[in-house]
């Protein structure tokens, strides 16, 4: 089967109590599997749009990337930290839920969620808070117990982290070990992969991009979603 043509389109998704949610939608006519792709702390920049298009084409899924900051973009760490710190996380979960429903009304019968950095934490929380999600694949991000206790998640998780991640208190090796203990204690169905890489190793525009870790982790994610979404 030939790789599908990828034609990202800008859409607006109705959300309760807020302005419509801007998002970028990649429709894949060859599949009924959908994946919500969640941004790093930078916002809906070109990098995350390209990553979602790659997941659509190479993984054979329809994808949607919500603009959780609603038009705001960060260009440096200070600004990104400010935007993430001021994010309404529960509101973001509601936005992600709206994206799940959008995919389902556009031909997807089952939907998963993945995300990177901040989006990784949100994808993990989504697995515990959004009933219509079938599975989640968080990358180098862990949700706080105040949003969602990971031990309470019942949906399948596939976690991807860098063994050399230096983001203390969020995705470093110590946090990874604490996460695994919570998942074990809660008997959560999960897979956990650690790579010889730093934080944000799939981001081709970042200083920690690791081509081998990126390829292997995305391939694992595609297989994981095909298993749980087909």
- String of DSSP letters for 139-154: ES----TTT--GGG--
pLDDT level of residue 43 (50, 70, 90 thresholds): very high
- Those residues with Cβ within 8 angstroms of residue 27's Cβ, 6 or more apart along the chain or in another chain: 7, 9, 62, 106, 107
Instruction: For the chain, give the percent of residues with pLDDT over 70.
Output: 98
pLDDT level of residue 223 (50, 70, 90 thresholds): very high
Report pLDDT for 38.
Answer: 98
The yes-or-no verdict on residue 106 having pLDDT over 80 is: yes
What is the Cα–Cα distance from 221 to 139, expressed in whole angstroms?
10
The 3-state DSSP class for residue 58 equals: helix
Rounded to an integer, the average pLDDT of 19-31 is: 95
Q: Tell me if 13 sits within 8 A of 98, measured CB to CB.
A: yes
Report pLDDT for 5.
Answer: 73
The yes-or-no verdict on residue 45 having pLDDT over 60 is: yes
Domain boundaries, the chain: 9-229
What is the Cα–Cα distance from 37 to 40, expressed in whole angstroms?
10
The 3-state DSSP class for residue 181 equals: helix
The mean pLDDT of the chain is 96
CATH for 9-229 (3.40.50.1820, 3.40.50.300, 3.30.465.10, 3.40.50.11540): 3.40.50.1820
The 3-state DSSP class for residue 121 equals: helix
pLDDT level of residue 1 (50, 70, 90 thresholds): low
Rounded to an integer, the average pLDDT of 112-121 is: 98
Tens digit of pLDDT for each residue in 186-214? 999 999 999 999 999 999 999 999 999 99
pTM of the model: 0.97
Instruction: For the chain, give the percent of residues with pLDDT over 90.
Output: 95
| Interior angle at CA 141, CA 135 and CA 143, nearest 5 | 75
Strand (E) or helix (H) holding 49: helix 46-59
pLDDT level of residue 25 (50, 70, 90 thresholds): very high
Tokens of 157: 């998780």
| DSSP assignment of 172-195 | SHHHHHHHHHHHHHTT--EEEEEE
């Amino acid at each position: 089967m030939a790789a599908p043509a990828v034609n990202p389109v800008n859409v607006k998704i109705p959300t309760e109590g807020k302005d419509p949610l801007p998002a970028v939608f990649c429709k894949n006519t060859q599949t009924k599997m959908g994946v919500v792709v969640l941004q790093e702390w930078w916002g809906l920049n070109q990098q995350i749009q390209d990553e979602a298009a790659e997941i659509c084409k190479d993984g054979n899924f329809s994808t949607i990337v919500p603009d959780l900051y609603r038009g705001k973009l960060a260009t440096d760490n200070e600004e990104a930290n400010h935007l993430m710190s001021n994010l309404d996380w529960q509101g973001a979960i509601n936005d992600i839920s709206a994206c799940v429903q959008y995919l389902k009304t556009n031909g997807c019968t089952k939907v998963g969620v993945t995300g990177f950095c901040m989006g990784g934490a949100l994808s993990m929380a989504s697995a515990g808070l959004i009933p219509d999600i079938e599975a989640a694949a968080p990358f180098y991000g862990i949700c706080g117990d105040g949003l969602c206790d990971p031990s309470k998640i019942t949906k399948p998780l596939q976690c991807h982290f860098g063994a050399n991640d230096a983001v203390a208190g969020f995705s470093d090796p110590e946090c990874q070990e604490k996460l695994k203990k919570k998942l074990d204690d809660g008997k959560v169905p999960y897979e956990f992969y650690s790579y010889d890489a730093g934080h944000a190793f799939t981001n081709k525009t970042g200083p920690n991009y690791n081509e081998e870790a990126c390829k292997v982790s995305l391939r694992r994610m595609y297989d994981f979603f095909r298993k749980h979404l087909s």
